[in-house]
Amino acid sequence: MGMSIIITIGGVVAVAIVAAVMMYGLPLAIRALQERRWGSIDGVLALTYDDGPDGVTTGQLLDLLDEKSVPATFYLVGFRAELNGEMLRRLRESGHQLATHTHSHKNAWKKPFWFEYRDAMRGYETLSGVVSEREAYRPPFGKITLLTWLGMRLRGRRVHWWTVPANDTLDSFDDPAVVAGRMLDSGERVVLMHCHHDEPHRREYMLALTRYLIDGARDRGLRLVTMRELEGGVVA
C-alpha cells in the first residue's frame, strides 16, 4: 500500500512538472526561435513602445516620430487607453501600427494561468476602436502561458517579443548615444521602449535614445519599419 501511494504521488508530480514545462517553458522556446528569425533579416530596425498611452510622454514621442518621419509600433494597455481618450485618438490618426498589451498589464507568471488570457481578451475589447481583431499581441514583461499563445494563434494573431530592451524604466542610464550605437552595432532588430513615463528623467532618456537610434540607423543605411512590415515579408 505504501509503495503504491509513493508511485501515485510520483506520477502526479511528474505530470505536474511536464504540464508546467509545457505551459511556461514552451513559449520561451518559441520566443527564442522568433528572435533568431528576426535576426536573419538584414537592413532593418523596428522601434516599439509599450504601456501607453499617457497624456504627456506619448504625445512627445509622436512629435519626435513625426519630425523624423519614422513609423513605429505601439503596444497599448487597455486601462490607460480608457484614461487617455484624446491621445488614443491621436494615435489612431498617426499612421503608426497599434497593437495590444493586455488591459491591466500584469505578469502572467505571477497570476493563475487563465488570468492572462482573459486579460488579453479584455485588452482587445477595450481597444477595439483602434486595434483590429487580428492585430498582434505583446505579453507584459515578455511572460506568456501556452494557453494564451495558442489562443492568439488560433485567432490569427501574432505574439511579439523583442530582441533588445532599452531598460528605460530604470532610474539610472548610460549615455543614450552610446547605448544606441551599441544596439545598432550588435545588429539588434526590435527595440523595446516605453511611452508612459511619469518621471522626467525616464521620459528624456527614452526620447533621446529614440532620436539617436533613428539617426544612427539612417547613418548605417537601415530602414526603419513597423512590426507588421518586419513580420509580414514586406522587408526582404
The alpha-carbon radius of gyration of the chain (Å, integer) is: 20
Q: Is the peptide bond before 53 cis (omega within 30 degrees of 0)?
A: yes
pLDDT on residue 113: 80
Spatial distance between the Cα atoms of 181 and 73, rounded to a whole number of angstroms? 21
Residues of the chain whose pLDDT is less than 70?
1-22, 233-236
Spatial distance between the Cα atoms of 77 and 98, rounded to a whole number of angstroms? 11
pLDDT on residue 16: 45
pTM over cut 0.85: yes
Instruction: List the domain boundaries for the chain.
Output: 2-232
CA 162 to centroid of chain Cα atoms: 6
CATH class of 2-232: alpha beta
3-state secondary structure of 221: coil
Residues whose CB is less than 8 angstroms from the CB of residue 235 and which lie 6 or more positions away in sequence, other chains included: 41, 43, 44, 223, 225, 229
Alpha carbon distances (Å) from 30 to 25, 79, 94, 144, 201: 9, 28, 31, 11, 35
pLDDT in tens, 43-61: 999 999 999 999 999 999 9
Angle at 162 between CA 135 and CA 57, to 5 degrees: 75
- How crowded is residue 123: how many other Cβ atoms within 10 Å of its Cβ? 26
pLDDT on residue 62: 98
pLDDT on residue 24: 86
Pinpoint the alpha helices (H) of the chain. Answer: 2-20, 26-39, 57-68, 78-83, 85-94, 115-126, 146-154, 176-185, 200-219, 227-232
Angle at 38 between CA 37 and CA 42, to 5 degrees: 110
Spatial distance between the Cα atoms of 84 and 169, rounded to a whole number of angstroms? 21
Pinpoint the alpha helices (H) of 21-114. Answer: 26-39, 57-68, 78-83, 85-94
Name the residue with cell 505583446: 138
pLDDT on residue 232: 75
